[in-house]
Amino acid sequence: MYDNLLANVPTDLYIGGKWRPATDKGRFDVIDPATEATIASVASAGTEDAKAAVDAASDAFPGWAARKPRERGEILRKAFELIMQHAERFARLITLENGKALSDSRGEVAYSAEFFRWYAEEAVRNIGEVSRAPTSGARILVQHRPAGVAVLVTPWNFPAAMATRKIGPALAAGCTIVLKPASETPLTMLALMPLLEEAGVPGGVVNVIPSRRSGPVVGAMLADPRVRVISFTGSTETGRKLLHGAADQVIKPAMELGGNAPFIVFEDADIDAAIEGAMVAKMRNIGEACTAANRFYVQEKIHDEFAKKLSERMGALKVGNGLEDGVAVGPLVNADTRNKVVNLVEDAVGKGAKVLIGGKPPNGKGFFYPATVITQVPDDAQLLREEIFGPVAAIQTFQSEDDVVARANDTEYGLVAYLYTRDIGRGLRVSERLEFGMVGLNRGLVSDPAAPFGGMKQSGIGREGAHEGLMEFMETQYISVSW
Ligand code: NAD
């Protein structure tokens, strides 16, 4: 099963358009979370390799930045088409290294490719401004230019999309890249490189350096004055470290960090629509998403109906190897992630929460955890404070709008909130009171390449997607002109 899929996936470092082992020959294993079998051994970059990658990106920068925006756009468009041609192979590879069900992986591949299509179109919309200075009468000419070498660091939960959401705008802007994918899931991005070459991306423009030594490797790049952007997606804890690291060279940060999404259902909501939305917001990616609904707040009157319907839907989901037909709940990515879910559920149940469905991991190989619904969750349960990152829906009830807004906002995170109501006035009023960068109003999915994705508070800095995502990779220059 593995051989076919992995036969053409490169496993070395990709630097300056060439494949090569790590300088110290270090390698690390990639594990299939469904079987715990080793599926590949990948080169593990050290700090010398990181320097070589920055050298390559820096050398390639003037040429790439000088290419006409239309040319860069057409290369991105071609990359979109190539990914779609190879969509099934990418989907299977994502499932193999991450565990998620094939249906989730197929969705991810389409979503990832869209960032190339969207930024193929945005590459030609780098629009500046001319205005007249109010007092001096000089002209104010404003232009945006590529920021320079960008270091991209991505997590394992979306091995393709979290990277293409950065690569697309960086290339459109005219930046060159060093990408460090997550060590759990390096294969998907390595497999993308031959396609980018085929699309016409020149050597050195995109470099990929998986590593087991992320801290020192990324740290070495942040100490390099040639690096001008650090774009990170991952945990708030790691994001904080990278922000400290970026401070010395004053590198422009873009941070997509953790979330703790509330999912609010008012008693006037269309309950069936709310259940559909809940299934997506909770179960897309087995709950291993920064956007995953983490805390369900259901108005008292409809709690029983909502909890019953959600349990029926969750209980019907088949658990198993993500590559098998009909499986909706693949394994979690690794033992730590699964153990965290186990502990969070035990903590909540120990404090009085009631399990409606699921709640216990199966025995045997693989990091499986079943779809789980718990209710009567007490206020001091840890899972209301932390990202669960697994297939567990934790329900509490609420009485009033003020009560639920206060509880939803009572977190250091501010990535996404969901709310369901038939009263659109209430929906918009509550949305505006929520301290979250994104709100799903009668929708369980907000991700869209054409929309600015990102969080408030400790969920991040900056936005990905939309035109704003392009601006993260650009510097504004203003020329004061007399003519
Ligand atoms: P993580 O922070 O552990 O790792 C993310 C990346 O950083 C990986 O490539 C990892 O190797 C690297 N890394 C880890 N320690 C590092 C260090 N000291 N220096 C430099 N690099 C380091 O996160 P994860 O467990 O891979 O991903 C899950 C987290 O990502 C969750 O908190 C989730 O909410 C978040 N996430 C956020 C978004 C978003 O858009 N806001 C999207 C997806 C995931």
**pLDDT means over runs of 10, the chain (483 residues):** 81 98 98 98 98 99 98 98 98 98 98 98 97 96 98 98 98 98 98 98 99 98 98 98 98 98 98 98 98 98 98 98 97 98 98 98 97 98 98 98 98 98 98 98 98 98 98 98 92
- 238 CB under 6 A from ligand 1? yes
Local structure of 466: helix, strand or coil: helix
Local structure of 327: helix, strand or coil: coil
Tell me, yes or no, if 175 is annotated catalytic: no
Local structure of 141: helix, strand or coil: strand
Which residue CA neighbors atom 22 of ligand 1 most closely? 214
Distance 233 CA to ligand 1 centre (A): 5
Residue 367, C-beta contacts closer than 8 angstroms, at least 6 positions apart:
33, 36, 99, 331, 332, 333, 334, 335, 337, 338
Q: Return d(Cα 239, Cα 257) in angstroms, integer.
A: 7
Instruction: Enumerate domains of the chain plus CATH numbers.
Output: 3-257+459-481 (3.40.605.10), 261-449 (3.40.309.10)
Query: pLDDT at position 284, please?
Result: 97
Which ranges constitute the DSSP H helices of 86-160? 87-98, 102-122
Which stretch of DSSP H or E encloses residue 152? strand 149-153
CB 217 within 8 A of CB 211: yes
CB 149 within 8 A of CB 61: yes
Pocket test for ligand 1, best of 235, 341, 458 (most atoms within 8 A of CB): 235
Distance 235 CA to ligand 1 centre (A): 4
- 51 CB under 6 A from ligand 1? no
**Residue 180: both structure tokens together:** 């460090």
pTM of the shown model: 0.98
Query: pLDDT at position 5, please?
Result: 86
Q: Position of tokens 């509330």?
A: 262
Q: How many residues does the chain have?
A: 483
**Residue 32: both structure tokens together:** 């299939």
Burial class (CB in 10 A: 0-12, 13-18, 19+), 77: middle
Query: pLDDT at position 1, please?
Result: 53
Burial class (CB in 10 A: 0-12, 13-18, 19+), 69: middle
Query: pLDDT at position 108, please?
Result: 98
Query: pLDDT at position 352, please?
Result: 98
Query: pLDDT at position 3, please?
Result: 61
Q: Return d(Cα 296, Cα 25) in angstroms, integer.
A: 48
Ligand 1 atom at minimal distance to the Cα of residue 455: 41
Q: Return d(Cα 233, Cα 158) in angstroms, integer.
A: 10
Q: Return d(Cα 440, Cα 393) in angstroms, integer.
A: 17
